Structure 1
């Protein structure tokens, strides 16, 4: 499940031609969907919405909901994702929310999940004891009036987290009792705390990476599950390098 802005066709096409084209890994079937809100932008003679409709008719991998697609609405987008998964995926074992600027090693992801719990499970890069930022200049600022606690409960960073499919319905139910904040991964963590469920640390701390080393090792891309990239062009380059590391 890949949240992406409606206008960002380049990111979607790049994912479709790299890690997103994998449909069966280690005998397991993989599905891929892009999550979109709506846009007020226009691009030439055709509106963004018309272009998205054409793209959807071609690829059949777009889920769009009627809310303004913006950074401050990412929590809405995430709840829409949980709602869709809860109602449309009764026979699926796991889902992953992954940002569009991420390299995803689907093989390593599936390999990890083959040994993972099947129930009440969420993992990724888990933040524990993270300090709440109060600086109004920060895009992650939460004033005391919104969130009075000094630290956040444990939560899986939004760059990429995976969860068992019994969680979406429970998180949706919890959201009725948890005050919304616009930092979507923190909000999911607040809902998890309400449920009394702790996110699980991954089997290795280096599987989910925030930053790529300046000089990654020869087997770096074959060893991780996620890593943040700078652009779609970089994803295409990294994909080629990753395929050359298949023997690692």
Structure 2
């Protein structure tokens, strides 16, 4: 149950009536994991999908928008990077480097799946489940790619002072009326067998988006029925839509 279940290979899902189990084939084994959040939990949990070879990008994030903030009065945050397994051609050396980086910074979450474009949704599923199981007290989650710059202190301050922030918040740059890519030559290809509708529901760009704790729980509750072959940001949007949540 909880974080210990996820870290030991179980689902780690804390929601009532959870549909995941330790035998769920979509529960990747964890190779590296950060320590669970200690009370008091961060107000903003920053979750950054990265790639094993992107060490310099992670260093840049730690040194800038994802690192400790010096502004007094800014809500506290924590940053976690989520990765898959490096390509076999460089796996042993890269994995040793990742282990050293994890020992130094303690902020890497690595699942036992190939780190490929096709597996981006695996990363999002893993980071959301780790957040739910191991940092459940965080009020908001900011998912942001490792090649963007986010004014995270401003985001946190805005969320903390927004009097009308809805409990189930899904916030970002919204894509409307996007049609699935049916071209089998494209890496964005989604066959009708995976998603048959002519249009996706509104969804936030995967570059960066915010989910409140309640919204993240709603997305996870809808996730088991959805194929991981959908594009990552579309997958979140479809799960949100099925949970009655609009961006």
> Is TM > 0.5 for Structure 1 vs Structure 2?
yes
RMSD over aligned CA atoms reads: 1.9
Structure 2 stretches of 5 or more lacking a match?
A: 1-46
Change (3 A) 1:96 1:111: same
Tell me, in whole angstroms, the C-alpha distance in 2 between the residues paired with 1:97 and 1:29: 16
Note if contact 2:65-2:151 (Cα within 8 Å) is conserved in structure 1. yes
The residue number in structure 2 matching 1:101 is 147
1:28 aligns with 2:75: yes
Matched, 1:149 2:149: no
The answer to whether structure 1 residue 179 and structure 2 residue 227 are counterparts is yes
Displacement after TM superposition at 1:118 (Å):
5.2
Aligned with 2:115 (options 69, 74, 81): 69
SS of residue matched to 2:78? coil
After the TM superposition, which of the residue ranges 132-141 and 65-74 deviates more from structure 2? 132-141
Gap runs ≥5 in structure 1: 200-248
Select 2:242's aligned residue among 182, 194, 201: 194
The equivalent position to 2:173 in structure 1, one of 125, 131, 135, is 125
Query: What's the CA shift string for 1:217-237, capped at 9, x where partnerless?
Result: xxxxxxxxxxxxxxxxxxxxx
Are the equivalent residues in 1 in contact too, given 2:85–2:111 (CA < 8 A)?
yes
Native 8 Å contact 2:118 2:229 kept in 1:
no
In the alignment, which residue of structure 1 is the partner of 2:16? none
The residue aligned with 1:238 is none
- The answer as to 2:57 corresponding to 1:57 is no
Q: Deviations over 1:53-80 (max 9, x none)?
A: 1011111111111111111011111100
Structure possessing the higher radius of gyration over alpha carbons:
1
How far is 1:156 from its partner?
Answer: 0.8
* Structure 1 residue corresponding to 2:187, chosen from 130, 136, 139: 139
For 1:87, the equivalent position in structure 2 comes to 133
Distance 1:94 1:41 in 2: 36
Q: Which residue of 2 aligns with 1:223?
A: none
| TM-score normalized by the length of structure 1 | 0.74
Please give the alpha-carbon distance, in whole angstroms, between the structure 2 residues aligned to 1:24 and 1:198.
34
Q: How much has 1:164 moved relative to structure 2?
A: 0.5
Q: Is the counterpart of residue 169 in structure 1 residue 217 in structure 2?
A: yes
Offset at residue 52 of structure 1 (A): 0.3
